[in-house]
Amino acid sequence: MVYDIIIIGAGPAGMTAAIYARRAAKSVLVLEALNYGGQILNTPDIENYPARAHISGYDFSTTLYEQAKELGAQFIFEKAVGIKDGNGKKTVVTAKNSYEAKAVILATGSANRKLGIIDEEKLLGKGVSYCATCDGNFYRQKVVAVVGGGNTAIEDALYLSNLAKKVYLIHRRDSFRGEETGVNRLIAKDNVEFIFNSNVTRLIYDKRLSAIEVTNKIDGSVKTLEINGLFVAVGRVPENQNFAELIKLNDAGYVQAGEDCHTSCAGIFAAGDNRTKALRQLVTAAADGAMAATEAVKYINNNCARPKNRKED
């Protein structure tokens, strides 16, 4: 079967694209490596989506998934590892299968950025985590630290402050990049302590994490914090490398695509956090999904309407 559109990634951008494509009566396959929802799935409370003052990331993602399925989008949970372009079709390759389509939308999102210090991956699940809402419950009345300065780090610190006895929020700069509303909520918390201009430089452990060393960037001083858990929220890395041979990426690995979501390869579009853009938020991911699907539908309709070349009699 040749699908009209294959969407790689079932986050908000990908699932919104599926909804718009199905409403345009196009056949849609959504390929997802893990679970639907993407990064927003683990957000405990979404407060900045228009017309929804409060909704959990799980409820938002599930509603979006059910809406796309109800409209007839097909979901297969396999990781796409490459795309081939030829003979007027795109072939999306996974570890198990290959699928053909007239157009492809890349909505691969991004993965957790690591701190890059010794034994970080070794301690994953043993005191190191990248998801406060997933693992925070294990640290009730314990001491934890969050590393980062964006919205995710602030949200994680707020969430953990309601569970843990003490929360350190460590940031390499002297001010936060996240929304001021969240920062003000943290300031009002008695069990949250800010550590600015500092990096986590060493993990101390026996079988589990027991402490971290934090180095001040200004004066070089080092202090040891005894903690039970370290939550890393230092940003995301776009997951585009599997497609780098076919489409242009910038130096940071993001797909070079404008607001129309067109990539350097005709018939391939990019939507959401994996493309170059000024603002990466839930609402812009949804907007990208709508735009990418609309442009993909135009691409398919124009190609189908174009008369085929024929030899002169």
Question: pLDDT per residue over 218-228, tens digit each?
Answer: 999 999 999 99
Q: Is 91 exposed, middle or buried (0-12, 13-18, 19+ CB in 10 A)?
A: middle
The reply to whether 260 falls in a domain is yes
Domain boundary among 209, 232, 255: 232
Helices 282-305 + 12-23 axis angle, to 10: 40
- Count up the domains in the chain and report the number: 2
Long-range contacts, stretch 193-196, CB < 8 angstroms, 24+ apart: 193/166, 193/167, 193/168, 193/169, 194/168, 194/169, 195/168, 195/169, 195/170, 195/171, 196/171
- 265 as an active site residue: the answer is no
pLDDT of residue 302: 93
- 273 as an active site residue: the answer is no
pTM, two decimal places: 0.77
pLDDT of residue 203: 98
The reply to whether 73 falls in a domain is yes
- Picking from 33-37, 181-185, 265-269, 308-312, which range would have the lowest pLDDT averaged per residue? 308-312
The reply to whether 18 falls in a domain is yes
Q: What is the mean pLDDT of the chain?
A: 93
Give me 3's structure tokens. Answer: 């699908």
pLDDT of residue 191: 97
Question: In 3D, which of 261, 252, 293, 231 has the Cα closest to residue 71?
Answer: 293
Residue 233 contacts residue 147 (beta carbons within 8 Å): yes
The reply to whether 117 falls in a domain is no
Instruction: Give Cβ neighbours of residue 86 (< 8 Å, ≥ 6 apart).
Output: none
The reply to whether 14 falls in a domain is yes
Kindly tell me if the per-residue pLDDT of 112 is higher than 90.
no
How many Å apart are CA 273 and CA 281, to the nearest integer?
Answer: 8
The CATH number linked to 244 is 3.50.50.60
Same domain, 8 and 105: yes
What integer is the mean pLDDT of 108-137? 90
How many Å apart are CA 217 and CA 160, to the nearest integer?
Answer: 26
Q: Coil, helix or strand for 87?
A: coil
What integer is the mean pLDDT of 183-187? 95
Q: Which of 45, 134, 174, 260 is catalytic?
A: 134
**pLDDT-based confidence at 304, cuts 50/70/90?**
low
Kindly tell me if the per-residue pLDDT of 310 is higher than 70.
no
Question: In 3D, which of 72, 92, 66 has the Cα closest to residue 81?
Answer: 92
Kindly tell me if the per-residue pLDDT of 312 is higher than 60.
no
The reply to whether 120 falls in a domain is no
Same domain, 106 and 7: yes
The reply to whether 72 falls in a domain is yes
Kindly tell me if the per-residue pLDDT of 313 is higher than 80.
no
Residue 246 contacts residue 83 (beta carbons within 8 Å): yes
Instruction: Give Cβ neighbours of residue 279 (< 8 Å, ≥ 6 apart).
Output: none
Q: Which of 85, 119, 131, 265 is catalytic?
A: 131
Q: Which of 135, 156, 273, 288 is catalytic?
A: 135
The reply to whether 121 falls in a domain is no
**pLDDT-based confidence at 311, cuts 50/70/90?**
very low
pLDDT of residue 297: 98
Q: Which domain holds residue 301?
A: 2-112+236-305
Question: What is the sign of the dihedral through the CA atoms of 239, 242, 247 and 248?
Answer: positive
